[in-house]
Amino acid sequence: MKALLIEDEPYARQELKRLLAKLDKGIEVVAELDSVKDAIEWLEDNEDFDLIFLDIQLSDGLSFDIFRSLRIDKPVIFTTAYNEYAIQAFELNSVDYLLKPVEPALLEKAINKLDRLQQAGTRKPALDGDELRRLLGIAPKPEKSRFLIKLGDQFKTVETAEIAWFSADRNTVTLTTHDAKKYVIEYTLDELEQQLSRKDFFRAGRGIIVSYSCIKKVHKYFNSRLLLEILPEAEEQVLVSRLRVDAFLNWMDNA
């Protein structure tokens, strides 16, 4: 069994690896990640694993933000310091949960539970970040309605409704309006993803966030991806990765 460890505490990662090796259940750790950003990037390009050990609080945010971007059907075992009431909420969608510090007997119990589920052919549903936030009582951040733009020694505002898409080129992030005007802004795409309306905007790829209103057509594309026609046109193809396709289509259906 191949396991992915998503945990930002080095000691916790090492201890979990030690306990897994001691269990002697043939579990191979294929990758160790410590942030939401790194997890999304790794998961977009890799599917050769069987299980995720997932901490809740990572170095750059809460781990269920990963599932806002990607639909993942792999089983998850949480390793967390959250209190018992919060943990009960996660039990609805995860295979199991483990309080830190992880106890060897409970780790073995969780692995055995996964074995039973797999033998029975049971598939757990993908995690729903919005539902998890609701159950944990975590309020969403206020959505941005406009952006302040600096133009030389002047300032202007651009209403969010005027924006077609945001793109990133190395360290520069640009917003493009529906009338094809472009402005550099001092945000990262990760920050924007947290502040924009999830009803109106979608992170189509690592380098672009599109608005629902800018999408003209959606085409099936090579390797189970989607190709988006957007207006105004982008300089490069806008592709939705295979792992984001389900989330994108669901967003389109509910936007």
Give tens-digit pLDDT for 105-161.
999 998 988 888 777 766 554 445 455 555 455 555 678 999 999 998 999 999 999
Among 136, 156, 171, where does a domain finish?
A: 136
Give residue-wise pLDDT tens across range 166-194. Answer: 999 888 999 999 999 999 999 998 889 88
Domain count for the chain, please give it: 2
Q: Which domain holds residue 8?
A: 2-136
Higher pLDDT, 182 or 71: 182
Bridge partners (DSSP) listed for residue 150: 155
Say if residue 79 is in the same domain as residue 204. no
pLDDT bin (cut points 50, 70, 90) of residue 93 is low
Q: Residue 128's closest CA among 239, 246, 228, 2? A: 246
Produce one character per residue of 167-204: b if its CB has 16 or more CB atoms within 10 Å, e if not: bbeeeebebbbeeeeebebebebbebbbebebebbbbb
DSSP bridge pairs for 136: none
Q: Which of 112, 136, 160 is the last residue of a domain?
A: 136
Q: What's the pLDDT at 8?
A: 92
Q: What letter represents residue 16's amino acid?
A: L
pLDDT at 92 > cutoff 50? no
Query: Which range (66-70, 137-141, 235-239) has the least confidence?
Result: 137-141
Q: How confident is the model at residue 76 (pLDDT cuts 50, 70, 90)?
A: confident
**Domain CATH for 29:** 3.40.50.2300
With 0-12 / 13-18 / 19 or more C-beta atoms within 10 angstroms meaning exposed / middle / buried, residue 149 is: middle
- Does one domain contain both 103 and 75? yes
